[in-house]
Structure 1
């Protein structure tokens, strides 16, 4: 009686319409769009995947990969084009953008998918989205839905061993971020999907919604600023999101271009506010905060000087900095390289709207900036007032229509009036 030969590996495809795999028992397998040529067919309407994109095969007992496409394939973070390489165990394969595969070549893993988080998530080692002192953010896949997620992996042991840092504050910030994100649901705020604490590995994993358009910071830098019409739509979304936060008594405290993510690199895309590590959930709308935190170039003057604390209005100052930066292509008070001079400029709201860049910017936009960058927090516009400023309100109908279309394109059902967005 013939027996099935032992497989020399397994190729898994984390792509719609469902999780599929090949048990590798033959010498060679092809992957691509063409059902006639491919052993594993990739359903891709964008034509990123070639008809015959890549093949895996066994030669001399060694599993190998060969790219056959016109644009190349990413293997373990490196682009491979028209050449062959040996395949390592748990080799991560990507057809740009976001067509993901995993090759497993050891018998230990044959009976199932490699180690998962809570039997649900696979985290890609080679897909790094960002990195900080105590955390790294990588691409993850929810195997139940095949949704792409961002997995923020926090090294709790590193926090505890770093004696120069405020350990308690760092751990509290993690807990605070999780707590706040679990309270909020809004189209323009990153949503938390799951939290997994693995004490035996000294890590906490926060699974978040993931978007692939990059940071607003990069969008500003690459374009030397943002055209006023697009900046208006971006700012409109920011106002709606921050209004939602303030209405439920949450102050973000670290609004900046690096913490605003774009769903797409194309103009007029959806944005999401991220990084709630410094956010504060307040008891009521009048509660004052005392902790001096945030990013220096976006800090409101009262965070620096007010002995009685500060209010949610610090977010409105940061919004003013953001609007200035989008339209002007530079920070209003400079960078923090000259710390003393930066703080002096912030305390005096010392910025300029008169250089060459600003000659084509509308008076209404400049007026909104000046009303947000008020040193006196009581004179500074609230988010609600900013939404009724002429720069926004004179185009309210167009902005609302654009916003509705954007939500539909993003697959979000939304019935609330745009001026009072709720999740």
Structure 2
């Protein structure tokens, strides 16, 4: 379904629940391009509620669409912001007045007062099977700390980004899930194709040559896999070392041999690309200057630490608000790397073509941190003109002559759009073919677009206001953990160990097989002795599960190990889930061992 099929698109429905009457009294729709204000003020609120505890303007509900041209990639994201005096809760967690907005998922409950609550339902349901079985098992290991929801925020070549939240505070996060298995499989497939072509070209090599080639292939394959894995490990380690208001803040990284779970701050107003669309396709000089200056602040921080981003583009710049002068955040450090000053040049062709510096194509020559300044020049041009200056030039005609023609067109576009001289001058100095003549980040920050006497004080004041609500990370110690280190192994005398038998069922020492539906759920309070981890895995739901979840049956909280006993028609029933879900520790260790055995056997490494 396309969300742009009608001028105003329905993205959800909110029901007003009366606790005294124990029923919904009415409901109202949420549309993609209409902000909804809830409160007692009849003049300023779209939906008026009559309750003395509720503020005149109590709650704001709005929608962010990431890509209006491809709306089915990520569904519209509906947010709620608490504006009240007495407070609002999201699924039992306090939202806090003036704090970041909360992303709403299907089934969420917003409690406005002891009497009234709002129940949110999405107009279009997302996919339920967004996590595979192994990921759901891995998530059970850290489910007491973080809950990863099916709410999709984005996707990439080897994974997806989902909304998550901390179980103790309810703080919402973005969780980037990198599927290392898919990455390894792609490397293996490409290597196999290359290996096969080699033998086809040399149809009957001597046995000795064939053996040497095979050995070389094995070593090359191992090296390529490790290089790919190092890229994603490097992203986590770079982010762990950073703390700046204009750079995405990392909360936690959990790694296994199969998956990386990267938890980072949830930025609630979409990316710069969607912001440009929201603004009508382009920005005026002052609006563009505020954003470009903040990105330069982030690049200055990175370049001082000898880090180059290498993939600067509107999609990787996030907006904390749709209001003018909001804080902007640089994200996606998958292409970033450390460089040694003055002596090291990079040569990898990486990033996004439309925003890549010309020297990145000349791999023999290599390139430096200056590539980030070229990319920023492209971003600035997009902000000012609404068009990418070097669209498709790399793929159709990757020459300096082609780009010179594009620069001439850009000059004409800026003149046509009546871009002021200061802004045009900065763009020209950023989009210089010779990196040695291109201005660096310090020179760009001191450019008179930002430092002229009539605007300098205003820009500095705007920046202070933009970052006013930002708080530096206070976490001490490493933010990166191995999944295995988080598994709580029970004491031997606390319960018999659960084992995975050849028939695929879990058995305890007595030999009895347990199914989720055979053991009734019994809620326990703090006075009840804790139940062993093995016994908990036989339950339909964990007894320690938070009661404030939007829907306790959403992945990864549902029991996927046995036939689904929920009634037909239940929104989360899945007839296909009839497989056993073993103990997380045992399964993860088995999966790792099996993967290594298969990999080794397949290439003669055993």
TM-score, length-scaled by structure 1: 0.70
Query: Pairwise mapping of residues 122-271 of structure 1 onto structure 2 (< 5 A)?
Result: 122-125=147-150, 127-162=151-186, 163-164=189-190, 167-199=225-257, 202-222=258-278, 223-271=280-328
Q: Answer whether contact 1:301 1:346 (CA < 8 A) is retained.
A: no
Query: Pairwise mapping of residues 20-419 of structure 1 onto structure 2 (< 5 A)?
Result: 36=20, 47=38, 92-94=106-108, 115=140, 117=142, 119-125=144-150, 127-162=151-186, 163-164=189-190, 167-199=225-257, 202-222=258-278, 223-305=280-362, 307-335=364-392, 339-341=395-397, 343-344=399-400, 348=404, 350-351=406-407, 352-355=410-413, 358-394=416-452, 395-408=455-468, 410-412=469-471
CA 1:304–1:313 in 2, change beyond 3 Å: closer, same or farther? same
Q: Answer whether contact 2:272 2:315 (CA < 8 A) is retained.
A: yes
Structure 1 CA distance, aligned partners of 2:359 and 2:76?
47
Structure 1 CA distance, aligned partners of 2:76 and 2:461?
42
Q: CA deviation at 1:159?
A: 1.1
Q: CA deviation at 1:33?
A: 7.8
Query: Pairwise mapping of residues 1-16 of structure 1 onto structure 2 (< 5 A)?
Result: none
Structure 2 CA distance, aligned partners of 1:403 and 1:256?
21
Give the secondary-structure state (helix, strand or coil) at the position aligned to 2:367: coil
Structure 2 CA distance, aligned partners of 1:358 and 1:37?
62
Count of matched residue positions in the alignment of Structure 1 and Structure 2: 330
Structure 1 CA distance, aligned partners of 2:119 and 2:149?
9
CA 1:330–1:193 in 2, change beyond 3 Å: closer, same or farther? same
Q: CA deviation at 1:371?
A: 0.5
Q: Deviations over 1:339-398 (max 9, x none)?
A: 123555565473222237644210111111111101111110101001111111112211
Structure 1 CA distance, aligned partners of 2:405 and 2:438?
12
CA RMSD of aligned residues (A): 3.4
Q: Answer whether contact 1:92 1:124 (CA < 8 A) is retained.
A: no
Unaligned runs of 5+ in 1: 1-30, 40-44, 53-70, 80-90, 103-113, 415-423
Q: Answer whether contact 1:328 1:358 (CA < 8 A) is retained.
A: no
CA 1:254–1:230 in 2, change beyond 3 Å: closer, same or farther? same
Q: CA deviation at 1:138?
A: 0.4
Q: Deviations over 1:128-175 (max 9, x none)?
A: 000112110000001122111000011111111122386444322211
Q: Answer whether contact 2:390 2:403 (CA < 8 A) is retained.
A: no
Q: Which has the higher strand share?
A: 1
Query: Which of these two proteins has the greater Rg computed from alpha carbons?
Result: 2
Higher relative contact order, structure no. (Cα contacts within 8 Å, ≥ 6 residues apart) = 2
Q: Which deviates further from its counterpart, 364-373 or 160-169? A: 160-169
